[in-house]
């Protein structure tokens, strides 16, 4: 077996082509890992908004809160369903909410640039229903007033969205930001939460809510709750686990990011593989006499083939690790994308998982094998006599 040190020394002799090829592979691995990390981040951000002991009720067939409407008379029936947890006063832990989207001016970009922001009208007990939400600055909004709290991802990114500032919920209907909340990195951190009555009166939705979220006595109580809600054919409602609901809401955006990323990756991968192949063909041509010497010393064609493939893989691993290291820096970045389920802008982070990291390295090694196999075959087929004459 030819020592790997021979291959490493050969790569270092051709520094320019080695670094250029490794850089191409690093770029492919970086783009691949970034696309998968962003897709995972989209799912993580959306699913983080759900709890396994929470259920969400929407109008049957609506598909999302934005297109759902439930009459007030049905809210009390939902809260009275079996399996709904009670608070310390004996009141059911449920939150009927109205969801709308407003266009708000963005800061830091082009003048007049606007983006959609999701506004959620919530009742007074919303923080009991969603205990993962915490006020980190200011105070909760008073029920029935023109006050609101905003997710921390909105702070400073939109006009009027700073603590103590005001913005128009609707034309000539300003609301004041009195608090900022965090929600464990979920999509709620990109929302405005206003009083339920304020939101309904502002958008002409009196007597209606978009959805009802309830705390269950336990995750196991969901089936009983769901059966009760969906058995009543007059209500035309459907219940889902909150985690399942938000996972479905993330699918369209996650698929879009993944497909776009993979289209770019495929083209980059093709170029990087050709780069590795050209580098190895050049190495074979320059080292023809060396190959002949190795064959004369008794190394078999398989040894030569393996040696050149290993050399290409070493090149790919170096490039892959460099690209992977660069992609890990993205975990500190935030990116805003349009959530296709709510048509509102949500801030996501890049999520690096072991499967993504391992997959990116394997892909890098695959490019090395593909790029090095044909040159290795050529090297293995070199005649010792012809090589020594050359």
* Per-residue confidence (pLDDT) for residue 1, from 0 to 100: 67
Show Cβ contacts of residue 84 under 8 Å, excluding neighbours closer than 6 positions.
78, 92, 93, 94, 214, 215, 216, 217, 225
**Residue (of 33, 45, 48) closest to 329 by Cα position:** 33
Q: Which two three-digit tokens encode residue 284?
A: 């074979």
Q: 279 is written with which tokens?
A: 């580098």
In this predicted structure, what is the pLDDT of residue 363? 86
**pLDDT computed for residue 280 by the predictor:** 74
- The alpha carbon torsion through 179, 184, 185, 188 (nearest 10 deg) reads -50
Rounded Cα distance between 5 and 8, Å, is: 5
Give yes or no for a contact between 152 and 177, defined as CB atoms under 8 angstroms apart. no
User: Is there a contact between 50 and 241 (Cβ–Cβ < 8 Å)?
Assistant: yes
Output DSSP code: residue 84: B
Enumerate the H helices of 205-287 as residue ranges.
222-231, 242-286
> What is the Cα–Cα distance from 237 to 55, expressed in whole angstroms?
13
Q: What are phi and psi of 30, to 5 degrees?
A: -60, -50
Cross-strand partners of 348: 335
Strands (E), the chain: 54-59, 70-71, 94-105, 114-122, 134-138, 147-151, 166-170, 173-182, 191-195, 208-209, 211-215, 237-241, 334-339, 344-349
d(CA 337, CA 180): 21
Tens digit of each residue's pLDDT, the chain (390 residues): 677 776 677 777 777 777 877 888 888 888 888 888 888 888 888 777 788 999 999 999 888 898 999 999 999 999 999 999 999 999 999 999 999 999 998 887 666 688 899 999 999 999 999 999 999 999 999 988 999 999 999 998 999 999 999 999 988 889 999 999 999 888 899 999 999 999 999 999 999 999 999 999 999 999 999 999 998 888 899 999 999 998 888 777 777 877 877 787 788 778 777 877 887 787 777 777 777 777 777 778 888 888 878 888 888 888 889 999 999 999 888 887 777 667 778 887 888 889 988 988 888 888 888 888 888 888 777 766 665 555
Torsion of CA 303, 304, 305, 310, to 10 degrees: 90
Q: Which residues are CB-contacts of 56 (< 8 A; sequence separation ≥ 6)?
A: 50, 65, 211, 212, 213, 214, 239, 240, 241, 242, 245
| Six token digits for residue 219 | 């995750």
| Residues found in the chain | 390
Using alpha carbons only, what angle is made at residue 48 by residues 257 and 139, rounded to the nearest 5 degrees? 120
**Phi and psi torsions of 240, nearest 5°:** -135, 155
Confidence at residue 111, expressed as pLDDT on a 0 to 100 scale: 66
Torsions phi, psi of 136, nearest 5? -105, -10
Distance CA 238, CA 212 (A): 11
What per-residue confidence (pLDDT) applies to 196? 94
d(CA 142, CA 123): 10
Q: Which of 180, 195, 178, 179 lies closest to 143 in space, CA to CA?
A: 195
Residues with Cβ within 8 Å of 220's Cβ and at least 6 positions away in sequence, in order, are none
Structural Rg of the chain based on CA atoms:
29
Residue 84's nearest CA partner among 199, 208, 239, 201 is 239
pLDDT of residue 257: 77
For residues 354 and 366, give the distance between their C-alpha atoms in angstroms, rounded to a whole number.
18
Structure tokens at 160: 């009027």
């Amino acid at each position: 077996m030819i020592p790997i040190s021979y291959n490493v020394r050969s790569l270092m002799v051709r520094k320019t082509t080695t670094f250029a090829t490794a850089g191409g592979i690093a770029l492919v691995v970086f783009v691949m890992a970034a696309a998968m990390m962003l897709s995972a981040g989209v799912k993580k951000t959306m699913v983080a908004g759900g709890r396994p002991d929470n259920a969400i009720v929407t109008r049957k067939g609506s598909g999302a809160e934005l297109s759902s409407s439930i009459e007030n008379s049905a809210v009390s029936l939902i809260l009275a369903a079996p399996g709904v947890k009670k608070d310390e006063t004996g009141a059911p832990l449920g939150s009927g909410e109205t969801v709308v989207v407003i266009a708000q001016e963005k800061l830091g970009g082009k003048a007049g640039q606007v983006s959609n922001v999701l506004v959620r009208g919530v009742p007074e007990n919303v923080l009991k229903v969603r205990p993962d939400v915490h006020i980190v600055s200011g105070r909760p909004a008073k029920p029935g007033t023109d006050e609101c709290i905003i997710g921390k991802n909105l702070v400073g990114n939109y006009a009027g969205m700073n603590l103590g500032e005001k913005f128009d919920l609707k034309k000539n209907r300003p609301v004041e930001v009195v608090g900022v909340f965090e929600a464990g990195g979920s999509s709620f951190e990109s929302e405005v939460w206003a009083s339920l009555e304020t939101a309904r009166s502002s958008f002409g939705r009196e007597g209606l809510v978009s959805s009802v979220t309830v705390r269950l006595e336990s995750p196991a109580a969901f089936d009983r709750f769901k059966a009760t809600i969906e058995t009543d054919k007059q209500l035309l409602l459907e219940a889902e686990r909150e985690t399942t609901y938000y996972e479905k809401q993330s699918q369209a955006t996650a698929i879009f990011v993944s497909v776009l990323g993979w289209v770019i990756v495929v083209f980059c991968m093709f170029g990087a593989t050709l780069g590795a192949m050209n580098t190895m063909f050049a190495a074979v041509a320059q080292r023809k006499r060396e190959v002949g010497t190795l064959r004369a010393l008794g190394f078999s064609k398989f040894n030569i083939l393996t040696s050149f493939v290993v050399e290409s893989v070493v090149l790919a691993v170096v490039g892959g690790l460099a690209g992977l290291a660069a992609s890990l820096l993205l975990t500190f970045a935030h990116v805003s994308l349009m959530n296709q389920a709510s048509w509102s802008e949500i801030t996501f982070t890049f999520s690096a998982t072991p499967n993504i990291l391992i997959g990116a390295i394997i892909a890098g090694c695959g490019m090395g094998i593909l790029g090095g196999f044909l040159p290795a075959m050529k090297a293995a087929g070199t005649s010792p006599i012809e090589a020594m004459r050359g």
